[in-house]
Amino acid sequence: MQRQQIPVPRPPIRKAFAYITSGTRVLLFTHPDHPEAGIQVPAGTIERGESPADAALREAREETNLADLTPGRWLGRDVFDAHAIGRHELHDRWFWHITAGDDVPETWRHGEMFGSNGSREHIAFDFFWADLREPLPPLIADHDRFIPELKAVLGIE
Protein backbone atom coordinates (compact mmCIF):
# COMPACT_ATOMS: atom_id res chain seq x y z
CA MET A 1 0.00 0.00 0.00
CA GLN A 2 1.39 3.38 -1.04
CA ARG A 3 1.19 6.23 1.44
CA GLN A 4 -0.18 9.51 0.23
CA GLN A 5 1.97 12.57 0.90
CA ILE A 6 -0.10 15.37 2.42
CA PRO A 7 1.51 18.80 2.28
CA VAL A 8 1.90 20.50 5.63
CA PRO A 9 0.84 24.14 5.46
CA ARG A 10 3.53 26.64 6.38
CA PRO A 11 2.72 29.41 8.84
CA PRO A 12 2.11 32.82 7.29
CA ILE A 13 5.15 35.03 6.70
CA ARG A 14 4.95 38.13 8.88
CA LYS A 15 5.19 41.39 6.92
CA ALA A 16 5.28 45.03 8.03
CA PHE A 17 3.92 47.82 5.82
CA ALA A 18 4.74 51.51 6.16
CA TYR A 19 2.32 54.22 5.10
CA ILE A 20 4.78 57.13 5.19
CA THR A 21 3.08 60.50 5.08
CA SER A 22 4.12 64.12 4.63
CA GLY A 23 1.12 66.34 5.27
CA THR A 24 -1.72 64.87 3.21
CA ARG A 25 0.61 62.89 0.95
CA VAL A 26 1.53 59.20 1.13
CA LEU A 27 4.78 57.79 -0.24
CA LEU A 28 4.56 55.28 -3.09
CA PHE A 29 7.14 53.66 -5.35
CA THR A 30 7.66 51.67 -8.50
CA HIS A 31 10.43 49.29 -9.57
CA PRO A 32 11.93 50.84 -12.73
CA ASP A 33 13.61 47.54 -13.69
CA HIS A 34 10.50 45.47 -12.92
CA PRO A 35 7.37 47.45 -13.93
CA GLU A 36 5.25 44.31 -13.48
CA ALA A 37 5.83 44.71 -9.71
CA GLY A 38 3.32 47.57 -9.77
CA ILE A 39 2.97 50.53 -7.44
CA GLN A 40 3.72 49.74 -3.80
CA VAL A 41 4.33 51.15 -0.34
CA PRO A 42 7.48 50.29 1.65
CA ALA A 43 7.14 46.87 3.26
CA GLY A 44 9.14 43.82 4.19
CA THR A 45 9.53 40.74 6.30
CA ILE A 46 9.44 41.04 10.09
CA GLU A 47 12.65 39.52 11.43
CA ARG A 48 12.77 37.00 14.27
CA GLY A 49 12.38 38.81 17.59
CA GLU A 50 11.40 42.08 15.93
CA SER A 51 8.10 43.80 16.65
CA PRO A 52 5.88 44.73 13.69
CA ALA A 53 6.25 48.43 14.60
CA ASP A 54 10.05 48.22 14.61
CA ALA A 55 10.01 46.27 11.34
CA ALA A 56 7.81 48.89 9.64
CA LEU A 57 10.19 51.69 10.69
CA ARG A 58 13.28 49.67 9.70
CA GLU A 59 11.83 48.80 6.29
CA ALA A 60 10.78 52.42 5.75
CA ARG A 61 14.31 53.65 6.44
CA GLU A 62 16.05 50.91 4.44
CA GLU A 63 13.87 51.20 1.37
CA THR A 64 13.54 54.99 1.22
CA ASN A 65 16.87 56.17 2.67
CA LEU A 66 14.89 58.76 4.68
CA ALA A 67 16.36 59.18 8.17
CA ASP A 68 13.84 61.62 9.68
CA LEU A 69 10.91 59.25 10.21
CA THR A 70 8.63 59.11 13.25
CA PRO A 71 6.61 56.00 14.09
CA GLY A 72 2.90 56.55 14.24
CA ARG A 73 -0.18 54.42 14.81
CA TRP A 74 -0.93 50.86 13.94
CA LEU A 75 -3.66 50.91 11.28
CA GLY A 76 -4.61 47.27 10.92
CA ARG A 77 -3.69 43.69 10.19
CA ASP A 78 -4.77 41.21 7.54
CA VAL A 79 -3.79 37.91 5.98
CA PHE A 80 -3.00 38.07 2.27
CA ASP A 81 -2.93 35.05 -0.02
CA ALA A 82 0.23 35.69 -2.05
CA HIS A 83 -0.84 33.21 -4.73
CA ALA A 84 -2.37 36.30 -6.33
CA ILE A 85 1.17 37.60 -6.98
CA GLY A 86 2.70 34.25 -7.89
CA ARG A 87 4.01 33.17 -4.48
CA HIS A 88 2.83 30.02 -2.73
CA GLU A 89 2.53 31.54 0.73
CA LEU A 90 0.33 33.51 3.07
CA HIS A 91 1.35 36.90 4.48
CA ASP A 92 0.36 38.07 7.96
CA ARG A 93 0.50 41.81 7.25
CA TRP A 94 0.77 44.63 9.79
CA PHE A 95 0.18 48.20 8.53
CA TRP A 96 1.68 51.25 10.29
CA HIS A 97 1.51 55.01 9.85
CA ILE A 98 4.92 56.69 9.81
CA THR A 99 5.46 60.44 9.49
CA ALA A 100 8.31 61.90 7.43
CA GLY A 101 10.15 65.03 8.49
CA ASP A 102 9.66 68.34 6.73
CA ASP A 103 12.66 68.12 4.39
CA VAL A 104 11.72 65.39 1.90
CA PRO A 105 12.37 65.34 -1.85
CA GLU A 106 9.46 65.29 -4.28
CA THR A 107 10.84 62.25 -6.14
CA TRP A 108 14.00 60.15 -5.83
CA ARG A 109 15.58 56.80 -6.60
CA HIS A 110 16.99 54.51 -3.95
CA GLY A 111 17.41 50.78 -3.69
CA GLU A 112 18.41 47.72 -1.73
CA MET A 113 20.90 44.93 -2.29
CA PHE A 114 18.56 42.13 -1.25
CA GLY A 115 15.24 41.24 -2.79
CA SER A 116 12.28 39.85 -0.87
CA ASN A 117 13.16 36.43 -2.28
CA GLY A 118 16.65 36.56 -0.74
CA SER A 119 18.39 37.31 -4.03
CA ARG A 120 21.57 39.37 -3.90
CA GLU A 121 20.83 41.90 -6.61
CA HIS A 122 20.47 45.65 -6.51
CA ILE A 123 16.79 46.56 -6.67
CA ALA A 124 15.98 50.18 -7.54
CA PHE A 125 12.90 51.98 -6.26
CA ASP A 126 11.50 55.22 -7.75
CA PHE A 127 9.66 57.13 -5.00
CA PHE A 128 6.93 59.72 -5.41
CA TRP A 129 4.20 61.30 -3.28
CA ALA A 130 0.47 60.92 -3.91
CA ASP A 131 -2.07 63.28 -2.33
CA LEU A 132 -4.56 61.34 -0.22
CA ARG A 133 -7.26 63.92 -1.00
CA GLU A 134 -7.19 62.66 -4.61
CA PRO A 135 -7.78 59.12 -5.94
CA LEU A 136 -4.60 57.07 -5.61
CA PRO A 137 -3.16 55.15 -8.54
CA PRO A 138 -3.93 51.43 -8.31
CA LEU A 139 -1.59 49.70 -5.85
CA ILE A 140 -0.56 46.08 -6.28
CA ALA A 141 -1.49 43.20 -3.95
CA ASP A 142 -3.86 45.18 -1.71
CA HIS A 143 -1.12 47.58 -0.56
CA ASP A 144 -3.96 50.10 -0.22
CA ARG A 145 -5.88 47.87 2.22
CA PHE A 146 -5.72 50.34 5.14
CA ILE A 147 -5.68 53.65 3.25
CA PRO A 148 -9.18 54.50 4.61
CA GLU A 149 -7.87 54.08 8.17
CA LEU A 150 -4.85 56.25 7.32
CA LYS A 151 -7.12 58.97 5.95
CA ALA A 152 -9.20 58.84 9.16
CA VAL A 153 -6.06 59.25 11.30
CA LEU A 154 -5.06 62.26 9.18
CA GLY A 155 -8.56 63.75 9.25
CA ILE A 156 -9.05 63.40 5.50
CA GLU A 157 -12.56 62.59 4.26
Residue 10's pLDDT band, with cuts at 50, 70 and 90, is confident
Reported pTM: 0.89
Residue 89's pLDDT band, with cuts at 50, 70 and 90, is very high
pLDDT value, residue 139 = 98
Query: In the CATH scheme, what is the code of domain 13-154?
Result: 3.90.79.10
Rounded-to-integer distance, Cα 149 and Cα 73, Å:
10
- pLDDT tens for 97-132 read 999 999 999 999 998 766 555 556 778 999 999 999
Mean pLDDT for the stretch of residues 41-64:
97
- 123: nearest Cα among 82, 80, 62: 62
pLDDT over 80 at 6, yes or no: no
Q: What are the residue ranges spanned by the domains of the chain?
A: 13-154
